[in-house]
Amino acid sequence: MQTAGGHEPARAVHHLVPSEHFDALASGRGGPDAVRLLRTTEYSRRLLLLRSLLDGAARTPGALGPLPSADSAWETLAAAQERAPEEFRELLLHPQVGVWLGHGLRRLRHTAWGDGPLWTDLGHLFAVCAVAALRAGLPLRTTVPVRDGDAMFPALGMARLPGRPRWATAEVVVAAGRLTVEPHRERAGPGPSGPEDDAPGWLGLRRLRARAAGHPVDVWLDDLDPYRELGEPLPPGRIAPDGTARWRAGFGRAFEVLEECDPETAAALAVGLRSLTPVPAPPSGLVRSASSGDAFGGLLCSPPPDPVTFAVTLVHEFQHLKLGALVHLLTLERDDGAARHHAPWRDDPRPLNGLLQGAYAFLGIADFRSRHLDRAPAAGRTFAEFELALVRRQTREAIATLSADPALTAHGRRFLAGMTARLPAGASDPRVRPGVDALAALTAADHRVEWRIRHLSPAPEDVRALARAYASGGPPGFRPAPAAVVPDRCGGWSHTRARQIRRTLGGAAPDTGPGAPAAGLALLSGDPSAADRYARLLAGDPECPEAWAGLVLSLATADPALRPLLHRPELLRPLHRELRARGTPAPPAALARWLTAHRA
């Protein structure tokens, strides 16, 4: 940042990743020292992005509209960095500043759009300048953009200026340790007791607090910043005081769980985590969470129902953040980005980098689940066993898929070797009872089978040849080629069987009311009528992927000789469709047995 002139190009700092940190991160771990390294490298990256944005704004006519020049911003930021380097570093590493930088650069490059003029996004630069000057104790008078009557100051709070046009500006004065917004003599700024307090015309940014390794954990609870999510800027979504109290209590208890189960991860989170953005819970009731490579140290999360789920969510997203920072330094894969892989936790096909990210996140979850299992209360022990068995199966399957992909680089293969070594070698854990492990295996198979049925499309000529062979009463006479990935855009996954398993293991009574999935209940209870029930569902809707998956699982569960069905279930639905079109429909179960007998 510090240069002899405002137009001197940024110089990249060359960072080396020590082997001990690389190997620790590859194993899914990485303590406070490894996270400090990642923060240092992310700071260098942010400096380069900031310089790129300033240069792009200076080259683009009208980019800053009615706001000051890019050179004036550079001068303020350089002075703030020189006066208070640590404060400047923390501000630039604020997750929402990272999201803004990414969005602003994409707007400059016409790969992203906004709902306002370009200057309304790029001009957030002057709000960053104001906070930098405030932290450094520098006087400043500048102009900031106002969006729908709001002016956000990152890691500080929001000025509310009612009666302003949708896109407007406001004058900001920083003096004597105070930031004041002055649009036509109205005043707004932090409350008298500090920026967390609300005041007339001001909403303070609130905090979540906990302790880890004997040190305080201080994280922004950001419900204000327009750049707090991962897409376009959005309006504030202020949480009511009782909601804030619940977030604070839940966050503190989640860190207590982490401290008890995994003090090193708790300490690493304390070093790296800086903001949590609350988002609405999805209709499914599951926790929604997300993170971004633009926003190291920040995550989005809907309210978790309990401290363990909250801890799992923190681990999950922190894994993504660590890997996202590492891939800014090292190339782990050279892939074309095509969505072609099955990720056991996603309903859609994933590109290689997405599968790697997911596998790394679930490796961390598996580690946490294992550490937590022996501390699980008796009432939740069965459920904890199931979640551990399932996440290990899912992670192991994803790692096997990654291992077979030639697009991993040498660094990527070394990283994957570290991930592989972290998982137990055996398929089962003696702490997990066989019946529970079997349910985890069934849940994993259920997802894989339905994914293949939905997203894999056999070659049409192979399907026609199979139909001719079946109609003639003979064997196929050939082995069909591997199916192509054709993503199913219809969606509509219900996950009824997985939900029923979790419901039962969680102590709830089976759903036997009107409209309950009777076929699924029969499958889970070992009822031999399950296959017939799914066949009847297919008679009513022969294209239903969930019913086809249920039929395959029922047949493979009842008869070990039919287990090969689990490996090529995608042949059944198009073959059944082709036979119907030919006027020679076949019973689904008979068709499945024919394919298995001849190993098509």
Per residue in 7-29, pLDDT (tens digit) is 455 555 678 999 999 999 999 99
548 contacts: CB under 8 Å, gap ≥ 6 = 450, 453, 534, 538, 569, 572, 573, 588
34 within a domain of the structure (yes/no): yes
Half-sphere exposure of 545 (CA within 13 A, CB side): 24
Helices 307-326 + 352-373 axis angle, to 10: 140
**Per-residue pLDDT reduced to its tens digit, 504-523:** 898 776 665 444 578 999 99
Do residues 88 and 162 share a domain?
Answer: yes
- How far is the CA of 556 from the CAs of 409, 577, 593, in angstroms? 38, 22, 10
The residue with greater pLDDT, 15 or 556, is 556
Question: Do 285 and 294 touch, CB atoms closer than 8 A?
Answer: no
Question: Do 120 and 127 touch, CB atoms closer than 8 A?
Answer: no
Mean per-residue pLDDT for 570-580? 97
317 within a domain of the structure (yes/no): no
Do residues 340 and 443 share a domain?
Answer: no
283 within a domain of the structure (yes/no): no
Query: What is the torsional sign of CA 486, 487, 489, 494?
Result: positive
200 within a domain of the structure (yes/no): yes
- In the chain, the amino acid numbered 449 is V
Task: Report how far residue 80's alpha carbon sits from residue 67's, in angstroms, rounded to the nearest whole number.
Answer: 20
Do residues 352 and 484 share a domain?
Answer: no
Do residues 397 and 503 share a domain?
Answer: no
Do residues 520 and 561 share a domain?
Answer: yes
Mean per-residue pLDDT for 113-141? 97
296 contacts: CB under 8 Å, gap ≥ 6 = 38, 39, 42, 93, 95, 98, 272, 321, 324, 325
Q: Hey, which residues does 169 pair with through a beta bridge?
A: 145
Task: Report how far residue 77's alpha carbon sits from residue 256's, in angstroms, rounded to the nearest whole number.
Answer: 38
**Per-residue pLDDT reduced to its tens digit, 301-321:** 999 999 999 999 999 999 999
Task: Report how far residue 484's alpha carbon sits from residue 340's, in angstroms, rounded to the nearest whole number.
Answer: 9
- Per-residue confidence (pLDDT) for residue 600, from 0 to 100: 62
pLDDT for 556 beyond 50? yes
**Per-residue pLDDT reduced to its tens digit, 425-467:** 766 799 999 999 999 999 999 999 999 999 999 999 999 999 9
471 within a domain of the structure (yes/no): yes
pLDDT for 183 beyond 90? no
Do residues 352 and 258 share a domain?
Answer: no
39 within a domain of the structure (yes/no): yes
Mean per-residue pLDDT for 48-69? 97
- Per-residue confidence (pLDDT) for residue 231, from 0 to 100: 84
Boundary residue ending a domain (272, 304, 328): 272
Arithmetic mean of pLDDT over the chain = 93
Do residues 415 and 542 share a domain?
Answer: no
Phi, psi at residue 365, to the nearest 5°? -65, -40
Q: Which domain holds residue 239?
A: 19-272
Task: Report how far residue 279's alpha carbon sits from residue 275's, in angstroms, rounded to the nearest whole number.
Answer: 13
Q: Hey, which residues does 188 pair with through a beta bridge?
A: 181
- Per-residue confidence (pLDDT) for residue 506, from 0 to 100: 82
β-bridge pairing 289-290 and 298-301: antiparallel
41 within a domain of the structure (yes/no): yes
14 within a domain of the structure (yes/no): no
Half-sphere exposure of 311 (CA within 13 A, CB side): 25
Band of residue 4 on the pLDDT scale cut at 50, 70, 90? very low
DSSP class per residue in 262-314: -HHHHHHHHHH--EEEE-PPPTT-SPPEE--TTSTTEEEEPPPSSHHHHHHHH
| Overall domain count for the chain | 3
Here the tokens at position 499 are 């939900």
Do residues 449 and 367 share a domain?
Answer: no
Task: Report how far residue 317's alpha carbon sits from residue 273's, in angstroms, rounded to the nearest whole number.
Answer: 10
- Per-residue confidence (pLDDT) for residue 190, from 0 to 100: 64
Do residues 240 and 103 share a domain?
Answer: yes
